[in-house]
Amino acid sequence: MKINHLTRGLMLSSCLVVGGMAAAEEVTITIESWRNDDLTIWQDKIIPAFEASHAGIKVKFTPTAPGEYNAALNSKLDAGSAGDMITCRPFDVSLALYEKGHLAAIQDLDGMKNFGPVAKSGWSTDDGSATYCMPMASVIHGFIYNKEAFKEVGVDVPKTEGEFFAALDKIKADGNYLPMAMGTNDQWEAATMGYYNIGPNYWKGEEGRLGLINGTSKLTDKPWVDAFASLAKWGDYLGDGYEAQTYPDSQNLFTLGRAAIYPAGSWEISGFNTQADFEMGAFYPPVKNAGDTCYISDHTDIAMGMNKATAHPKEVKEFLNWMGSAEFASLYANALPGFFSLSNHDVKMDDPLAQEFVSWRGQCESTIRPTYQILSRGEPNLETDMWNASVAVIKGSETPEDAAARMQKGLASWYKPQQ
Amino acid sequence: MSTQPHKKRTRWHIAVFLAPAVLVYTAIMILPLFGTMQNSLFNEIDKSRVFVGLQNFYKLFQDPRWSADFWNALGNNAWFFLIHMLVQNPIGIALAAILSNPRLRFAKFYRTAIFIPTILSFVIVGFAWKLILSPIWGITPSMLDAVGLKFLFAPWLGKEEYALTTIALISVWQFIGIPMMLIFAALLSIPDDVLEAAECDGITGMSAFWKIKLPLILPSIGIISVLTFVGNFNAFDLIYTIQGALAGPDFSTDILGTFMYRTFFGFQLQLGDPYMGSTIASAMFGIILVGVCIYLFAIQTRLRRYQF
């Protein structure tokens, strides 16, 4: 027995020594993410930059496929096998993680001082008392167009809705180009690139969005229905068989030069830059009358939080603080044009298309996607309903009024301020 | 005591040999099945797991929105099954009958070629057909154009009225090899003496098939029907690869499998609900159980079996 105790003690102490030595040498922290497209950028640019200035901390970026991320992350967190840092989806998905105690409150970190309230809103509790993810980037909606096609057909960049549809008509009549590359097969495009893109001009951005949350306006109000009515006209300008056209189909149609306009999110920029061999430009969603204030969807999209169960909170906080720095902001925004920094730093970007997108922040009022905050918490899910309604409206299988009424009914069935 | 030593001895080897299969099957099939059924009786109220009895089922069948989704999925599933029964199995039987004709040349080649899609992954089948039928890059529009039938083309996968039937036919294409092989095997097992005896009585050709072969392969057809039923009501993969978890357009291809997946794991902004997901899974189990029982007790017991 004695010998047994002795050996056990020896083994234990040797383990401790080895463990202690390793800890003194370096700590590895891992990042959970859905951005598997960005793997090389993290490995070649961002992580080396961090490790160069922070000796002793190694960072590993371990992404999951986007569609599986939420489900996989939840099971990993429940099982206690998730990484030290968690890439955060905006609003309720991450809020649920925070409420379950998986994400730590990090509003007191120094790096957080570089972000304004709008940037933080995507990852704060409803009362704003706690923030649990360090904001990284937003994406802006608008339209990307083929400059050569516009020159060939002879249309100018549309500023008003009238000009927009006139341009589409002219491109259609010319016949060489498909006026607009979008399909309804995957459903989310119709809402994300369609309704959320042109809609803010109708519901006046934040005013309309907050009205829904407060219960002072309804989805059956004129602005929300009018935006659907405008979207309903798109069906005529999409390609043959757009009902079965998928998201990659639309991307390819545009980058192969077969379509003139692509209703876009800024995240497309880096992909389009490598695929398309013609010059591209961008314009913001056309306003109703010349001179109206324009509104754009500048959607808080991605952030980084700390796994509450991490064994290395000190190192994780160091990394998160660095993510709030100007160095990270510039590194990230330039490595991934189209993902715009949410920080207050003045970030210089090289990509002309990305510059075009971000310049709208100065001319227009910013808002985020209307369904993301609070309104998609219940059943039926408003986000899913909006996808479905946007498709139905474009196809003409539902009138704008019916679609709006259906969404309102679904929302009012569980959301108290709308009852 | 010592007079009957053999009868008392426990025959351990039976248990030992059965153990691996029983343990593995219990761990990965039976336990999760009962876990799921148990889960369907619980719900999360104020962040704690609470026993709610049959309330989840009540919600699934009585709540207007849940029940609309459920009946839509069940209806689509029934249509999916019907297409398989009406198209896959008769064609499979016909193919087997043709292939078992001794005068047919290249029979082995046809048999292999027709069976190959069955061993392909759902993902390959889904993407290949999505491309074939694509209105933009697909070969279907140009092939129809070549024979002057372009007007027949429609973006089938994107239209509510055609999408489910199209996917069901893709699934038929993929799995037609299974009934063909099973029936082929059953046809081979019919002894030649029976057919020769029939021939002496003047029953040949088509009537030999209808009067002699078909009654003899009826039990196999029954088995195939059950397999099709279970397979169809458990289906998920093909719809998920072609239309995604939303089973578009407008839920027209939503079957019980995709409905369960969406509810259980969540989708985009919709958070996963393991309790309602388990409820749907239990309902699926019940539906399949009832279907199989109907077959076992009402149909199979009435089938006449012939011993040779």
Instruction: Give A317-363 as a 3 state SS string.
Output: HHHHHHHCCHHHHHHHHHHCCCCEECECCCCCCCCHHHHHHHHHHHH
Cβ count within 10 A of residue A269: 23
In this structure, the answer to whether residues A277 and A294 fall within a common structural domain is yes
Contacts of B246 in chain A (CB under 8 A): 187, 384, 387
The answer to whether the beta carbons of residues B270 and A378 sit under 8 Å apart is no
Per-residue pLDDT, A299: 92
DSSP B254: -
Contact B246 A387 (CB under 8 A): yes
Residue A16 sits at φ, ψ, to 5 deg, of -60, -45
Q: Please give, rounded to a whole number of angstroms, the shortest distance from the CA of B283 to a CA of chain A.
A: 20
| Cα A261 to Cα B171: distance, rounded to the nearest angstrom | 36
The answer to whether the beta carbons of residues A324 and A106 sit under 8 Å apart is no
In a domain, A2, yes or no: no
In this structure, the answer to whether residues A164 and A191 fall within a common structural domain is yes
Which CATH number is correct for B55-302, 1.10.3720.10, 1.10.150.120, 3.50.50.60, 3.20.20.10?
1.10.3720.10
Helix H or strand E segment including A88: strand A85-88
Quick one: how far is CA B56 from the chain centroid?
27
Per-residue pLDDT, A5: 54
Supply angle C-alpha A135, A136, A137, rounded to 5: 115
For A170, the token pair is 């002219």
The answer to whether the beta carbons of residues A139 and A301 sit under 8 Å apart is yes
Q: Is B206 on the interface with A (CB under 8 A)?
A: no
Contact A384 B160 (CB under 8 A): no
Per-residue pLDDT, A19: 44
Contact A244 B268 (CB under 8 A): no
Choose the final residue of a domain: A312, A328, A361: A361
**pLDDT, tens digit only, all 308 positions of chain B:** 455 555 668 888 999 999 999 999 999 999 999 999 999 999 988 778 899 989 999 999 998 889 999 999 999 999 999 999 999 999 999 999 999 888 888 989 999 999 999 999 999 999 999 999 998 888 998 999 899 888 888 899 999 999 999 999 999 999 999 999 999 999 998 888 888 898 898 888 888 888 889 988 998 999 999 999 999 999 999 999 999 888 888 899 999 999 999 898 877 777 778 899 999 999 999 999 999 999 988 888 877 666 66
In this structure, the answer to whether residues A330 and A350 fall within a common structural domain is yes
Per-residue pLDDT, A25: 66
In this structure, the answer to whether residues A393 and A403 fall within a common structural domain is yes
Best B270, B273, B275, B279 member to test A by mutation, with max A CBs in 10 Å, is: B270
Cα distances (Å, whole numbers) of residue B282 to A380, B153, B236, B266, B269: 22, 40, 16, 18, 25
Per-residue pLDDT, B162: 94
In this structure, the answer to whether residues A386 and A254 fall within a common structural domain is yes
Contact B134 A391 (CB under 8 A): no
Q: Please give, rounded to a whole number of angstroms, the shortest distance from the CA of A382 to a CA of chain B.
A: 9
In this structure, the answer to whether residues A134 and A201 fall within a common structural domain is no
In this structure, the answer to whether residues A160 and A59 fall within a common structural domain is no
The answer to whether the beta carbons of residues B211 and B165 sit under 8 Å apart is no
Choose the final residue of a domain: A361, A377, A394: A361
Per-residue pLDDT, A143: 97
CATH code: domain of residue A234: 3.40.190.10
Count of domains observed in chain A: 2
In a domain, A16, yes or no: no
Residue A169 sits at φ, ψ, to 5 deg, of -60, -45
| Cα A293 to Cα A295: distance, rounded to the nearest angstrom | 7
For B34, the token pair is 């009962």
Q: Please give, rounded to a whole number of angstroms, the shortest distance from the CA of B130 to a CA of chain A.
A: 9
Per-residue pLDDT, B303: 73
Contacts of B245 in chain A (CB under 8 A): 67
Q: Is B270 on the interface with A (CB under 8 A)?
A: yes
In this structure, the answer to whether residues A278 and A306 fall within a common structural domain is no
In a domain, A287, yes or no: yes
Q: Please give, rounded to a whole number of angstroms, the shortest distance from the CA of A194 to a CA of chain B.
A: 17
Per-residue pLDDT, A10: 47
Question: Who contacts A268 (Cβ-Cβ below 8 Å, separation ≥6)?
Answer: A144, A251, A262, A338
Contact B135 A371 (CB under 8 A): no
Contact A388 B250 (CB under 8 A): yes
For B271, the closest of A96, A240, A382 (CB atoms) is A96
In this structure, the answer to whether residues A371 and A282 fall within a common structural domain is yes
In a domain, A320, yes or no: yes
Choose the final residue of a domain: A337, A361, A385: A361
Q: Please give, rounded to a whole number of angstroms, the shortest distance from the CA of A138 to a CA of chain B.
A: 17
In this structure, the answer to whether residues A57 and A31 fall within a common structural domain is yes
In this structure, the answer to whether residues A332 and A307 fall within a common structural domain is yes
The answer to whether the beta carbons of residues A181 and A262 sit under 8 Å apart is yes
Q: Please give, rounded to a whole number of angstroms, the shortest distance from the CA of A290 to a CA of chain B.
A: 36
In a domain, A5, yes or no: no
Across the 419 residues of chain A, what is the mean pLDDT of every consecutive 10-residue run? 48 46 71 89 92 91 83 84 94 90 93 88 89 94 96 94 96 94 92 94 93 94 96 93 91 94 93 92 94 93 94 93 92 90 88 92 91 86 91 94 94 91
Helix H or strand E segment including A179: strand A178-180
Contacts of A372 in chain B (CB under 8 A): 269
Query: What radius of gyration do chain B's Cα atoms show?
Result: 25
Full domain range(s) for residue A33: 26-139+300-361
Contact B137 A249 (CB under 8 A): yes
| Cα A341 to Cα A358: distance, rounded to the nearest angstrom | 10
In this structure, the answer to whether residues A324 and A335 fall within a common structural domain is yes
Residue with structure tokens 């019919």?
B190
Q: Is B63 on the interface with A (CB under 8 A)?
A: no
Per-residue pLDDT, A35: 87
Cis, bond preceding A200 (omega within 30 deg of 0): no
In a domain, A192, yes or no: yes
